[in-house]
Chains A and B, each alone.
Chain A
Amino acid sequence: MHTIAWLILGLPLLSATCIHLGFKRNQGLSTIIATSSALITLILSLVLLGNGKDTSTAFTWVGAMGEHFKGIEIGLRIDQLSRGMLIVVTGVGFLVHLFSLTYMKDDRAKARYFCGLSLFMFSMTGIVLASNFIMMFIFWELVGLSSYLLIGHWYQKPSAADASKKAFLTNRIGDFGFMIGILMLWGITGTVTFSELELWSATPAPFNATFLGIALLCVFAGAVGKSAQAPLHVWLPDAMEGPTPVSALIHAATMVAAGVYMLARFFTSVDLEIIAFAPQTIAWIGGVTSLLAALMATQQDDIKKILAYSTLSQLGYMVMAVGLLNAQAGVFHLFTHAWFKALLFLGSGAVIYACHHEQNIWKMGGLRKKMPLTFLTFTIGTLALMGFPLTAGFFSKEQILEAALHQSTPLFVIATIVATLTTFYMGRLLLVAFLGENRSENSHHAKEVGALMLIPLVTLSVLAIISGYPFVASALSPLYEQVGFHFGPAFWASLTALVVGGGFAFTFYRNAETDPLKDKKIALVFRNKFYVDELYAQIVRFGQDCVAAIVHFIDELLIGGLIVGGCSRAAEGIGKLFGRLQSGNLHGYATLFGLGVILLIYITVFVP
């Protein structure tokens, strides 16, 4: 069992190392190595799923020193949460590898791409299997690095290079809070290992609840960065500069879900009763993010940007669920969301590929007839995202709405509004991109994509339908609690959202040539993402100017003028002063002589 887990962790690392060190030039071989490593890890994860025991293994990395420091270990924790997440990661990972075989066929740096993918698989698996916070943090950073490398895959494009830098920096801000949170937690509880945290929270020593709440918020900061919650959401839309399979894998299914996963780990390790005010904050941040993202998505024209904002919005749902102390609902939604969001992204990748890298939906249209199978899978994904009954999304969204309903009515209202908006913009996407007439040359010449691309799409669409049902979910989902299905307010609310949103979308965008709403003032605000990026740019510039001014002052005036200049001027002045003693004037010398003699006599004779 443990060997399997270590293999799952180590195989992608091996593949990345081999490709990087050896096979950069041999593109075909690198592709095969990476894809086969993904396949093997998937198979191993399924095997791991079969053994239903919870177990963990570790080896000591830093030994214990003194009586308070018990050491840091590197270990793997295999339980329901990590097994399910492993299925998601390796499953989506393998399908994305498969998709990339065709999508990146003409790319010149395929080896670097697949090396990055393998590195990412390694890092994500590390997060999933981590047994303590420190190890998770290490792999957290590694995942950020892989994201940077993959977003900036086409680094010759300045926008891609900037986007990858932005992603990394924004993540880093979150990670700073994460580290502080881990350290605070360590200070309060004395341990960072999850199993020991469980033990601690069963019989906690006296502690300050406020501190624990603050520690939780700091840890949550890491999730804010990684899962792109407000205010650190700015990097996710820009991250669409990377290749579409990367967006599917990292920015839809797995990496952004890592934040939620980490929170779920935390909440299943620590008894929730003892935490004070932090979960409320978390839930509200999640709710606000999902609302803002949904609003911004209604006016975007790039197909990938729409899907990116949709991801933001759904992540907000998950975080809200976790904040409402229903981690099972959040993780269940993560599970189902992974499938249908990956499906949507890969579908959009197929569309982009077919339309010769055209990404503006107003330049597509009529693709239903040109790419029927893609259209079918895309529709299934859309329905799942909207929460159409009988799809996976319906069940998971239902659970979240129930949780919101029972705990906080404002959040329930927000969640329903977000569901309406989701239906609205996804309907807009579907109607504009696939239905209607061809609006450009590229879409006119589009044709169905090859088999290697269709297989992942079909697999994912099947999963998007069935993964909500209990027989699948209880087996595969990381956390699942089977709730009885009943026709409560949540059901009616989601149904209403579906109908209302769909109706609006149909009204506005059926057979539309351009966006009818785009000239309204509020639409402009949505389109410009609430001007958050501009605000951040101003803040950064202001901060840099201040720091530069201070440094300039210190350097020029203090160090340059006062210290360096002062030393030289002092030396010069003293030198000049003593230079005046040497006047070349005999009278002067004689006078000084006489003065010296008088002084000498005075000191030796008259001073007692």
Chain B
Amino acid sequence: MDQFLFYLFGFLALAGGLLLVGFRNPVSSALSMVVSFIGLAGLFIGLNAYFVGIVQILVYAGAIMVLFIFIIMLLDLNNEKPFQFRSATILGGLAIPILFAIQILGVIQKGPTEHSEKFPPITEETLQQAADGFALKSDGELLPASEQTAIYRSLAHQDSPKLPDTNLIGETIFKHYNMPLQIMGVLLLVATVGVVVLSKRSSKNANTQN
């Protein structure tokens, strides 16, 4: 079943990409890109990366693609004419990715043999084991029940323990990558300011389309 799902979502991602490159209508391209992202999200979830998968849908497909479609609609674009493509461009555009794909194949084959093994699944014992790790104090004693973290509880004490990867990601970010997180905040601020500045109209050409 897992294998089938992998193939399905993989095919979805690749097909979406191909359609994105092939469609002349930019709105069609944008929508096929959404399909591609859905496939990608499926692949993420298959990799037990639940948080990243959902964020992918929310932010990428939800915010970014909507923004794209906004702008396409704003600019009121026409279709690209079919014979506008120059043969040189198409030739280069086909040759280079094919070469690149061949090189990727080569790189993958050169990789170590462990990479062709399947992922070890996450079972209950794994979770139990991990839970013990979270319930220990620094000196090796067990924590009392009132101080047990949510991670521990979700790892250990449910009927069907599941992987609390949001919590784990949160823990990784806030414990180890706090500084980059703050910088991300500043980056978003800068981007917002930049967008506002770039969109400002100079007072001379006030009567263009809105």
Asked whether the complex places CB atoms of A and B closer than 8 A, the reply is yes
By size class, the interface of chain A is: 10 to 19
| B176–chain A nearest beta-carbon distance, Å | 29
A605:B103 contact, CB within 8 angstroms: yes
* B93 partner residues in chain A, CB cutoff 8 A: 587, 591
Contact with B along A582-608 (1 / 0, CB 8 A): 000001000100110110011001100
B106:A605 contact, CB within 8 angstroms: yes
Taken together as a complex, chains A and B put the C-alpha atoms of A594 and B97 apart, in Å, by: 8
Q: A587-B89, A591-B92 are in contact. Are A605 and B100 (CB under 8 A)?
A: no
A595:B96 contact, CB within 8 angstroms: yes
Interface members, chain A 7-24 (any B CB < 8 Å)? none
| B140–chain A nearest beta-carbon distance, Å | 46
Q: A587-B89, A598-B103 are in contact. Are A605 and B110 (CB under 8 A)?
A: yes
| B119–chain A nearest beta-carbon distance, Å | 25
Which of A587, A591, A595, A601 interacts with B103 by CB under 8 Å?
A: A601
B179 within 8 A of A: no
Taken together as a complex, chains A and B put the C-alpha atoms of A515 and B92 apart, in Å, by: 102
* A606 partner residues in chain B, CB cutoff 8 A: 103, 106
* A595 partner residues in chain B, CB cutoff 8 A: 96
A598:B92 contact, CB within 8 angstroms: no
Question: Taking chain A's interface residues, is the majority helix, strand, or loop, or is none over half, making it mixed?
Answer: helix
B206 within 8 A of A: no
* B110 partner residues in chain A, CB cutoff 8 A: 605
With both beta carbons as reference points, the residue of chain A lying nearest to B110 in the complex is identified as: A605
| A606–chain B nearest beta-carbon distance, Å | 7
Taken together as a complex, chains A and B put the C-alpha atoms of A605 and B107 apart, in Å, by: 7
B99 within 8 A of A: yes
Interface members, chain B 63-109 (any A CB < 8 Å)? 86, 89, 92-93, 96-97, 99-100, 103, 106-107
Which of B86, B103, B106 lies at the interface centre, i.e. has the most chain A CB atoms within 10 A of its CB?
B103
Taken together as a complex, chains A and B put the C-alpha atoms of A591 and B95 apart, in Å, by: 10
B107:A591 contact, CB within 8 angstroms: no
A594:B96 contact, CB within 8 angstroms: yes
Question: Taking chain B's interface residues, is the majority helix, strand, or loop, or is none over half, making it mixed?
Answer: helix
| B104–chain A nearest beta-carbon distance, Å | 8
With both beta carbons as reference points, the residue of chain B lying nearest to A597 in the complex is identified as: B100
Taken together as a complex, chains A and B put the C-alpha atoms of A587 and B107 apart, in Å, by: 27
By size class, the interface of chain B is: 10 to 19
Contact with B along A563-598 (1 / 0, CB 8 A): 000000000000000000000000100010011011
Taken together as a complex, chains A and B put the C-alpha atoms of A605 and B97 apart, in Å, by: 17
* A602 partner residues in chain B, CB cutoff 8 A: 103
Taken together as a complex, chains A and B put the C-alpha atoms of A378 and B92 apart, in Å, by: 109
* B103 partner residues in chain A, CB cutoff 8 A: 598, 601-602, 605-606
* B86 partner residues in chain A, CB cutoff 8 A: 587
* A605 partner residues in chain B, CB cutoff 8 A: 103, 106-107, 110
Taken together as a complex, chains A and B put the C-alpha atoms of A597 and B103 apart, in Å, by: 11
A598:B100 contact, CB within 8 angstroms: yes
Which of B86, B96, B107 lies at the interface centre, i.e. has the most chain A CB atoms within 10 A of its CB?
B96
Q: A587-B89, A591-B92 are in contact. Are A598 and B99 (CB under 8 A)?
A: yes
Taken together as a complex, chains A and B put the C-alpha atoms of A591 and B86 apart, in Å, by: 13
A601:B107 contact, CB within 8 angstroms: yes
Taken together as a complex, chains A and B put the C-alpha atoms of A595 and B91 apart, in Å, by: 13
* B92 partner residues in chain A, CB cutoff 8 A: 587, 591, 594
With both beta carbons as reference points, the residue of chain A lying nearest to B107 in the complex is identified as: A605
* A601 partner residues in chain B, CB cutoff 8 A: 100, 103, 107
* B99 partner residues in chain A, CB cutoff 8 A: 598
* A587 partner residues in chain B, CB cutoff 8 A: 86, 89, 92-93
* B100 partner residues in chain A, CB cutoff 8 A: 594, 597-598, 601
Taken together as a complex, chains A and B put the C-alpha atoms of A594 and B95 apart, in Å, by: 10
With both beta carbons as reference points, the residue of chain A lying nearest to B104 in the complex is identified as: A601
* B89 partner residues in chain A, CB cutoff 8 A: 587, 591
With both beta carbons as reference points, the residue of chain B lying nearest to A604 in the complex is identified as: B107
Interface members, chain A 517-567 (any B CB < 8 Å)? none
Taken together as a complex, chains A and B put the C-alpha atoms of A594 and B99 apart, in Å, by: 10
Taken together as a complex, chains A and B put the C-alpha atoms of A299 and B187 apart, in Å, by: 113
* A598 partner residues in chain B, CB cutoff 8 A: 96, 99-100, 103
| A607–chain B nearest beta-carbon distance, Å | 12
| A580–chain B nearest beta-carbon distance, Å | 14
Taken together as a complex, chains A and B put the C-alpha atoms of A598 and B99 apart, in Å, by: 7
| A353–chain B nearest beta-carbon distance, Å | 99
* A591 partner residues in chain B, CB cutoff 8 A: 89, 92-93, 96
Contact with B along A129-166 (1 / 0, CB 8 A): 00000000000000000000000000000000000000
Taken together as a complex, chains A and B put the C-alpha atoms of A237 and B100 apart, in Å, by: 94
Taken together as a complex, chains A and B put the C-alpha atoms of A248 and B92 apart, in Å, by: 97
* B106 partner residues in chain A, CB cutoff 8 A: 605-606
| B84–chain A nearest beta-carbon distance, Å | 11
Taken together as a complex, chains A and B put the C-alpha atoms of A591 and B92 apart, in Å, by: 7
| B107–chain A nearest beta-carbon distance, Å | 6
Taken together as a complex, chains A and B put the C-alpha atoms of A168 and B158 apart, in Å, by: 124
Contact with A along B18-30 (1 / 0, CB 8 A): 0000000000000
| B160–chain A nearest beta-carbon distance, Å | 44
Taken together as a complex, chains A and B put the C-alpha atoms of A595 and B97 apart, in Å, by: 10
Taken together as a complex, chains A and B put the C-alpha atoms of A602 and B96 apart, in Å, by: 13
Taken together as a complex, chains A and B put the C-alpha atoms of A591 and B93 apart, in Å, by: 7
| A585–chain B nearest beta-carbon distance, Å | 9
| B94–chain A nearest beta-carbon distance, Å | 11
Taken together as a complex, chains A and B put the C-alpha atoms of A594 and B103 apart, in Å, by: 12
Taken together as a complex, chains A and B put the C-alpha atoms of A601 and B86 apart, in Å, by: 28
| A13–chain B nearest beta-carbon distance, Å | 89
With both beta carbons as reference points, the residue of chain A lying nearest to B97 in the complex is identified as: A594
Taken together as a complex, chains A and B put the C-alpha atoms of A605 and B109 apart, in Å, by: 11
Taken together as a complex, chains A and B put the C-alpha atoms of A594 and B101 apart, in Å, by: 12
With both beta carbons as reference points, the residue of chain B lying nearest to A598 in the complex is identified as: B99
| B89–chain A nearest beta-carbon distance, Å | 5
9 further A-B contacts with Cβ under 8 Å, apart from A594-B92, A605-B103, are A591-B89, A594-B100, A595-B96, A597-B100, A601-B100, A601-B103, A601-B107, A602-B103, A606-B103
Q: Can you show 24 pairs from A to B with CB atoms below 8 A apart?
A: A587-B86, A587-B89, A587-B92, A587-B93, A591-B89, A591-B92, A594-B96, A594-B97, A594-B100, A595-B96, A598-B96, A598-B99, A598-B100, A598-B103, A601-B100, A601-B103, A601-B107, A602-B103, A605-B103, A605-B106, A605-B107, A605-B110, A606-B103, A606-B106
The 6 closest A-B pairs by CB, nearest first: A594-B96, A591-B92, A587-B89, A601-B103, A598-B99, A605-B107
